[in-house]
Amino acid sequence: MAPLDPHSFTDSTHTLTTHIALSLYFDFPSATIHGAALFTLSSPHSGPLCLDTRSLSIHRVLSPSTLSPLPYSLSPFCDPIKGTHLSLSLPNDVALSSFLITFSTSPSSSALQWLSPPQTFNKKHPFVYTQCQSIHARSVFPCQDTPAARIRYSALLNVPRELSAVMSARHVDRRLPVSGEGYSNLLPNGFNSLWCSETRVVEEFDMNQPIPPYLFAFAVGELGFREVGPRTRVYSEAADGVLEAAAKEFAGTEDMIRQGEKLFGDYEWERFDLLVLPPSFPYGGMENPRMVFLTPTVIKGDASGAQVVAHELAHSWTGNLITNKNNEHFWLNEGFTTYAERRIVEAVQGEDRAVLSIGIGWRGLNDEIKRFQDNLEFTKLKTNQEGVDPDTFYSQVPYEKGFQFLWCIERQIGRPAFDEFLKKYIATFKFKSIDTETFLDFLKANAPGIEKEIDLVLWTEGTGIPPDAYEPVSNLYTKIVSLANEFKLGRMPREDEVADWQGQEWELYLENLPKVVEASQVFALDARYRLSESNDYEVKVAFLQLAILSKCRDFYGEVEKTLKEVGRMKYVRPLYTALVQGIGKEEEKILAKRVFAEARDCYHPIAQGVVESIFAKHL
Ligand SMILES: [Zn+2]
């Protein structure tokens, strides 16, 4: 076996899948999807073929033309990171270029969160959605789950007719089910006969652009939408107020798409729709092509919500068009996207906003380097991820150190030349999956002599922050940092000094305070500015972290409320960590365990796993 990716059983000597046609029956009462999948290979293949699965039941593997069974086996043990290895044995006499698999997901599928009606806004209908990055597509359908293997797909989603579906794909039709379509007559457990029940509809989708499997995405629920631009709708649960607030928040999206096109070339994905998910969504946003998924916590009526959209939009060029070959080169996705996001923000919101965002990132990077002081491997851009769970070691390093590396190159060769370089890089590698070496070779060829000016090996393979990284400068940034320094000497900012502060200013201020301060200072700050009750979770969580670490137990009620309201890992991870990390914190540890036991069902399985790994490390 010749592995292609430390997180996949895909064998580099095997033929890759180029298209998957899926028929999926959604059974909400059992939180299960029953599926038939037709796989098309890039060329005929015989002998063994390895696929990734996790918590899937495999029912049958068949030749599509004869429907005769093909032998297969599942590994007897489930690898804790990679899942279960499905090995097919394709006939040696006639090489096949396609095969069929019927399967069922399990209620514990790591990609899927099934919400019961009480967990939704309207409390009337259930809801289900995917989060496949980094390695969770394999818990929805068997596949070569590595970004090195790009696939096109089509999908028939059979759902209760009171619900509707969206996907990271072109919507073809919403219609009555047709008997036997898409091999649905082969579905297991009697679901073949339910396919055409009068209570069901089929939502049909087609994705004709090759994507890495982690960009496969759907959501099914009671959905509504508003038009916010010529190629953008915002979708969410059809609940009072949510759609209106979202439409208002994202009204400037078309302006950002145009700025992105000016900087990076044509927008290649036709639509740029947005889906606002329930509060359990584990990320700020997920760049699913054509249909970005967003946490509702970005809707807060200031500039920073649009910055998350700018980030997901920037992925349309970096990440989705050019993709890291595997997670060891994740910085190629996120470093470039963080750079591109800030260029869009600078064009749309001005330089001050972009510099604030760089400053918050700079603080975050410095904190992450401290977090990984016992595991310096994760402070590198290019990491060795053999035996590493990408969810556990998810950090700001690929984002912010990657950003700093590209910003350093921009300063060295000048912005006009760097802009040219970026456009050429995107045009050269679009719809390809590449590694760090490919990028460096392209850089050296197109910026001759760059390796003499910048230590490229130190940047990509070295630990920590290289000496030519750069803390941003602007009047606003400098003022906020110096106010934070004055807090250390006992002076709180005056009301006139913070009168026009938005969430990001407070976030930067709080992140520049010492991790632990006198309890009396925490109370005084909150008495004046009510940060513990902020509607902006970035501010609220940064403040509550300070409160926990400074042992201000009066705020624990607010901590508990926050952990039960939202499942975004950006908030859940630091709050639980602050509670359980360190010695002499028995009360905090008991609180953390109780809150997690009560909130667990409201978190996506990925977030559940992250909290469990925090507990495993500190409890
Ligand atoms: Zn990103």
pLDDT of residue 304: 75
Ligand 1 centre to CA of 349 (Å) is 20
Distance CA 602, CA 87 (A): 35
Coil, strand or helix at 200: strand
Ligand 1 centre to CA of 333 (Å) is 7
Q: Residue 93: which pLDDT band, with cuts at 50, 70 and 90?
A: confident
The structure tokens 């926990």 sit at 548
Average pLDDT over residues 25-54: 97
Ligand 1 centre to CA of 475 (Å) is 28
Residue 17 has pLDDT above 80, yes or no: yes
Ligand 1 centre to CA of 335 (Å) is 8
234-271 confidence digits (pLDDT tens): 999 988 788 999 999 999 999 999 999 999 999 999 99
125-143 confidence digits (pLDDT tens): 999 999 999 999 999 999 9
Distance CA 524, CA 501 (A): 19
pLDDT of residue 99: 98
Specify binding-site residues for Zn(2+): 311, 315, 334
Ligand 1 centre to CA of 315 (Å) is 7
Q: Residue 96: which pLDDT band, with cuts at 50, 70 and 90?
A: very high
Report angle CA 186, 66, 24 to the nearest 5 degrees: 25
Question: pTM score, two decimals?
Answer: 0.96
- Catalytic residues, which ones? 312, 399
Residues 6+ apart with CB under 8 A from 90: 45, 46, 47, 48, 49, 70, 96, 99
Ligand 1 centre to CA of 330 (Å) is 10
Length of the chain as a residue count: 619
Q: Residue 159: which pLDDT band, with cuts at 50, 70 and 90?
A: very high
Nearest alpha carbon to residue 31 among 607, 611, 605: 605
**In the 8-state DSSP scheme, what is residue 427?**
H
The structure tokens 């798409």 sit at 257
Sort strands 200-211 and 218-221 into parallel, antiparallel or unpaired. Answer: unpaired
Specify binding-site residues: 131-133, 282-287, 311, 315, 334, 568-570
Residue 210 buriedness (CB in 10 A; 0-12 / 13-18 / 19+)? middle
Which residue type does 301 have? G
Residues 6+ apart with CB under 8 A from 165: 157, 159, 203, 205, 218, 219, 220, 223
Ligand 1 centre to CA of 531 (Å) is 28
**In the 8-state DSSP scheme, what is residue 582?**
S
Residues 6+ apart with CB under 8 A from 347: 259, 262, 263
Average pLDDT over residues 374-390: 96
pLDDT of residue 431: 97
Residues 6+ apart with CB under 8 A from 425: 322, 439, 442, 446
Average pLDDT over residues 360-383: 95
**260, HSE (Cβ side, Cα atoms, 13 Å):** 28
